[in-house]
Amino acid sequence: MSGEPRARRLFFREAIARALAEEMRADSRVLIVGQDVGAFGGSYREFDGLFAEFGPARVRDAPVAENAMIGLGVGLAAGGFRPLVSVTYMDFLMLGLDPLVNYGAKLRFKSAGRMGAPLVVKTTAGAKGQGVAHSQCIEAWLMSVPGLKVVAPSNPADAYGLMKAALRERGPVVYVDHKKLFPGAGEVPLEEAPTPIGVAKILRAGTDVTLVSHSYMVRIALEAAERLAEAGVSCEVIDLRSLAPLDVETLAASVSRTGTLLTLEEGQLACGVGAEVFARVGERLGPIRAARVGPLPAPVSSNPALEAAVVPDAARVVAAAKTLCARARARTGEPE
């Protein structure tokens, strides 16, 4: 019936739990391994209810040993299962890069396509008062690995849809969420459908600047776009959603309309997501007017004032966009 609801409002963490529950009911090969994922329900409660429904055989707590956890996950995936390995802090994903990069991501190539590692590594990034070793965003490290996909939702609907898509992939996927996203809520479609990996989404149409971001920084981008609109600057905001592969078609089409590209990320700018976006769009369109906004080149302190000083905010985005627009006007001879 047309009057029936088509979506339900869920917290970000609830959207993840719903996707996992649906995929575990549909496919007995889907397993969860990680720290505190069992009866505790996960550090951010994103696994709530799963242990009660599926039991310890399919939702298994692991010791604090990320290399062993991911190695176990790669082995399970090669053996026919579809495991999700939960790494509580992205900083400690570094400990598991050997099995993930050298084995999981390469298994399809080593076996001429006869074997795969349908593994999901879910990990939580971002600054939220926890200091230098619990606040890093290293998504860009992973984007250059052949055979590895990387996704980063910014809202509950995509948290749900990208998790379902990741659990159905043939090869390994790193699913990156953010500490500051878990308390947020949003509409999630009732339809049990995945969000396509490799497809960006235009969240706000604009004509002057293409503003590209992912994960929690999308919220900062939207805030900055509101402020810029009040100053007469129209921003087109694009949520990447997928970092590997990148949706270069959507990005290039937008920049060809606006003439200006501005990227925003919480990870470091050197060899970062924005640098890759800039390069790929430039290869498609030729020389473009662009700038990147990111954190200061410093570790993230647990001191609130110092953390705020390092992590990019809307004010920095507004200033960068205004500078780009001023340069554009200067080149065309338009008045300020």
Mind telling me the catalytic residues?
66, 134
Q: How far apart are CA 103 and CA 77, in angstroms?
A: 11
Q: For the chain, report the end-to-end CA distance as a whole number of angstroms.
A: 54
Closest C-alpha among 198, 204, 197 to residue 219: 204
Residue 32 CB partners (closer than 8 Å, separation 6+): 20, 24, 47, 50, 58, 59, 60, 83, 84, 86
What is the residue-wise DSSP string for 220-246?
Answer: HHHHHHHHHHHTT--EEEEE--EEES-
What are the CA-CA distances from residue 284 to residues 48, 56, 209, 217, 255 (Å)? 44, 50, 17, 25, 10
Please say whether the beta carbons of 124 and 138 come within 8 A. Answer: no
The answer, yes or no, to whether the previous bond of 245 is cis (omega within 30 of 0) is yes
Q: How far apart are CA 264 and CA 269, in angstroms?
A: 9
